């Protein structure tokens, strides 16, 4: 299977449980640094994505490729040295519906932001 054109052998990824065990003491974005290095070395990509849009419950989530699929690590807090602080109690594998919702929300968010930025640019040009 390919992600962004990169062939991924999912059997070489950490399992959900292995990943959660590895970051349980440093449940933060910074705690993922060794996983980023490992994945980047193996696949040429970190296979970790930040999704900074609220789902109505959490401020955002970090998505990590794991053997079983894609793990959502939700966060509501940030720290200046640890960055996003994950709530591991509600970490879950993303299903088709959740991924579809993420895509739809991102499209709405990015289209709204691009339109607003374009309008701002036009206003600044006029002033």
* 9 shares its domain with 33: yes
CB 86 within 8 A of CB 102: no
Q: What is the pLDDT of residues 106-116, one digit of tens each?
A: 999 999 999 99
* Distance, CA of 23 to CA of 35 (rounded, Å): 9
* 116 shares its domain with 78: no
Q: How many domains does the chain have?
A: 2
Q: What tokens were used for 5?
A: 């054109």
CB 27 within 8 A of CB 86: yes
Give the β-pairing of 92-93 and 83-86: unpaired
* 54 shares its domain with 15: yes
* 79 shares its domain with 100: no
Q: What is the pLDDT of residues 37-95, one digit of tens each?
A: 999 999 999 999 999 999 889 999 999 999 999 999 999 999 999 999 999 999 999 99
* Domain residue limits at 34: 2-94
* 62 shares its domain with 102: no
The HSE-up count of residue 102 (CA atoms within 13 Å, CB side) is 18
Reported pTM: 0.92
């Amino acid at each position: 299977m390919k992600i962004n054109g990169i062939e991924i052998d999912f059997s070489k990824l950490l399992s959900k449980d292995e990943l959660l065990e590895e970051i349980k003491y440093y449940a933060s974005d910074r705690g993922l640094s060794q996983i980023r290095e490992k994945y980047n070395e193996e696949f040429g990509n970190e296979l970790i994505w930040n999704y900074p849009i609220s789902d109505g419950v959490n401020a955002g989530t970090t998505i990590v490729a794991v053997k079983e699929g894609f793990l959502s690590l939700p966060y509501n807090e940030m720290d200046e040295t640890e960055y996003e602080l994950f709530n591991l109690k509600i970490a879950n594998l993303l299903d088709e519906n959740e991924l579809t919702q993420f895509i739809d929300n991102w499209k709405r968010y990015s289209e709204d932001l691009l339109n607003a930025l374009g309008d701002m640019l036009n206003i600044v040009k006029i002033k």
